[in-house]
Amino acid sequence: MHTTTQSSSSVAYSNKLGARKRRPYLLVIRDGVITTFAGQSIPGALAVRSTSYKKDGTWSHATYDILLAPGVRALAVREHFETGSLVDGIAAATSTRIVDWSSFAAALGVTVASARAWAQATRPQIVERLDKVEAEIAEVEDAVADDSATLDVSIGGYSRRDTEGGAWLRPIVIEDANGGEIARLLPEDQKYGWQQDGFRIVPTNAPIRVLSSTHTGGPRGGHRSMRVAVPAGCVART
What's the whole-number mean pLDDT along residues 152-160?
91
Domain annotation covers residue 133: no
Residue 7 has pLDDT above 80, yes or no: no
Is residue 99 domain-resident? Answer: yes
Contact call for residues 69 and 46 (beta carbons, < 8 A): yes
99 in the same domain as 207: no
* 3 band by pLDDT with thresholds 50, 70 and 90: very low
pLDDT at 143: 55
Residue 180 belongs to what domain range?
Answer: 143-237
In a domain, 210, yes or no: yes
Q: pTM of the entire structure?
A: 0.58
pLDDT single digits (tens) 80-123 = 888 888 999 999 999 998 989 999 999 999 999 999 999 999 88
Residue 19 confidence (pLDDT):
85
Instruction: State residue 138's pLDDT score.
Output: 74
Note the pLDDT tens digit of each residue in 35-82.
Answer: 999 999 999 999 999 999 999 998 899 999 999 999 999 999 998 888
Cβ(201)–Cβ(210) under 8 Å? Answer: yes
Q: Cβ(62)–Cβ(40) under 8 Å?
A: no
Please identify, among 128, 160, 187, the residue that sits at the C-terminal boundary of a domain.
128
- Averaged pLDDT score across all residues of the chain: 88
If asked whether residues 116 and 175 sit together in one domain, one would say: no
Task: Indicate if the pLDDT at residue 209 is higher than 70.
Answer: yes
* Same domain as 151, residue 68: no
Res 140: pLDDT: 63
Is residue 134 assigned to a domain?
A: no
